[in-house]
Amino acid sequence: MLTIEQTRELLEGQHAAAFMTELYGEDQLQEQLTRYSGLLDTYQEHYGSGEVALFSAPGRSEIGGNHTDHNHGKVLAASINLDTIAAAGRVEEPVITIISEGYPGKCEVDLRQLEPAAGESPTCSLIRGIAAGCVEAGYKIGGFNAYVTSNVLSASGLSSSASFEMLVCSILSAFYNEGALDAVAMSQIGKYAENRFWNKPSGLLDQMACAYGGLVAIDFEDPAQPAVTGVPYDFRGSGYSLVIVSTGGNHADLTEDYAAVPGEMREVAQMLGRDMLRGLTPEDVYRNMEALRERCGDRAVLRALHFFAENDRVDEEAQALEQGNMIRFLELIKESGNSSWKWLQNCYRESDVRHQGITVALAITENYLQKLGTGACRVHGGGFAGVILTILPVEEARAYAQFIEKTIGTRSYIIQVRQHGAICLNRFLVQ
């Protein structure tokens, strides 16, 4: 590690400027250099001088494969240029201390106690869960101080929690494991922390997309070792922007709604003699339709049918991008959105039909794109509240964002795919 002053000098060099441009884009270079400089200032205010390292973990965009990963399906996802960053320093005491910008107080986790602690804050629970997951997976852990800031929208579907988890994993990997934790190991540890310490029934999609980097197709048929394939496509270079639209809701209290999706899919699978839907076919459902509808309910059947169609679409989407066939790709995104809306039914809560921010945003966006003559949109991520994804020509993105603000009064974010996942920046900044 380097001292704070040595790190500042690195950030002022041409090598840092080139890497930051690669990470965030040329238009954000100065903003990001100022952001990291401020990060070091604040770290020093709280923890004093000493050796530090810089870390970054991106948020993620789910482009295809809506609610498929938890049944061992396929997804098309990307790391994005919104991220969670930290300045961190190793300490001898076995305590992790994290101060996060915008959140009161600090989180202190004593690593001598790795069981879930009643009444602990969600952030501390995740940190404790990550440490416990590292130990269970055979990795070393130890104490550190960190100051963290993030521009990944919280509770929005961009995986702010997974971004934070991968950040903590990357710090433990760099400080205590010589960088040995790869994307799969970090993702499995993050999932372990969410499932066991946060009671969130998540799959591996969010963590893998944040940890790996770039635009990737991921097959979770073997969740212990997901198959990851890079998809070499440059949306911006091909004239298209990815726009994330906030719909005014958030994911804070939707655990029950999320849990019902994999729960109902697995109920169908178990009726057909399997633990997961992967390995079954629509024909298996058709042959047993009457019994499935009676025992599992119609929504569960529809969600199973969504899984099969959506799983196949991921392969088609990746193939369309590899062939440069944007027209076909946009058709598939529309099909994915329609399937989520009609079959998966995760665009609003059936317990609160009065509030349908996602469906309103989708309705006005579909009309907008129809007049434009190109583009596609779909619910993004877990659904029920949060954000939608819109893909449209670069030159139309800002006008669309203004339209959204005028009509529903919410913000839009033009995002870019970033090629690096969760990283220790020192590896790239030191020449």
- 244 shares a domain with 209: no
d(CA 169, CA 190): 8
Flag whether pLDDT at 162 surpasses 90. Answer: yes
What's the whole-model pTM score? 0.88
| Same-domain check for residues 166 and 31 | yes
Same domain, residue pair 140 and 124:
yes
| Predicted pLDDT of residue 252 | 53
199 versus 101: the higher-pLDDT residue is 101
pLDDT of 69 higher than 80: yes
Judge if 134 and 249 occupy the same domain.
no
107-116, 155-164, 208-217: range with lowest mean pLDDT: 155-164
What pLDDT, on the 0 to 100 scale, is given for residue 123?
Answer: 92
Question: Which pLDDT belongs to residue 382?
Answer: 85
Q: Is residue 301 situated within a structural domain?
A: no
Q: What is the mean pLDDT of the chain?
A: 93
Task: Place 261 in a pLDDT band, splitting at 50, 70 and 90.
Answer: very high
Residue 197: domain span: 2-62+80-214+418-429
Answer for the pair 169, 179: CB distance below 8 angstroms, yes or no: no
pLDDT digits (tens, 9 = 90+) for 169-221: 999 999 999 999 999 999 999 999 999 998 877 778 889 999 999 999 999 99
Tokens of 231: 């998809």
Task: Check whether residue 84 and residue 149 sit in a common domain.
Answer: yes
H or E segment at 291?
Answer: helix 289-296
Quick check: 73 pLDDT over 60?
yes
- 403, β-bridge pairs: none
Does residue 250 carry a pLDDT above 60? no
Domain count, the chain: 2
148 shares its domain with 246: no
The answer on 122 and 186 residing in a single domain is yes
Which amino acid, one-letter code, is at 74?
A: K
Q: Which two tokens stand for residue 378?
A: 């779909």
Residue 19's pLDDT is what? 94
Q: Give the separation between CA 186 and CA 193, rounded to whole angstroms.
A: 11
pLDDT value at residue 352: 87
Q: Do residues 62 and 426 lie in contact, with contact meaning Cβ atoms separated by under 8 Å?
A: no
CATH of the domain at 368: 3.30.70.3170
Q: Are residues 102 and 243 in the same domain?
A: no
**pLDDT attached to residue 431:** 63
215-219 and 74-90 strand pairing: antiparallel
Residues 383-407 pLDDT 10s: 888 899 999 999 999 999 999 999 9
Question: Is 192 found in the same domain as 86?
Answer: yes
Q: Is the pLDDT of residue 164 over 80?
A: yes
Give residue 342's pLDDT: 96
Q: What is the mean pLDDT of residues 219-233?
A: 92
Confidence class for position 260, pLDDT limits 50, 70, 90: very high
- Helix, strand or coil, per DSSP, at residue 121: coil
Query: Do 362 and 422 belong together in one domain?
Result: no
CATH number, domain with residue 155: 3.30.230.10
Assess whether 398 and 424 both reside in one domain: no
Same domain? 423 vs 353: no
Query: Minimum mean pLDDT among 29-33, 64-68, 70-74, 253-257: which range?
Result: 253-257
Question: Would residue 390 count as lying in a domain?
Answer: yes
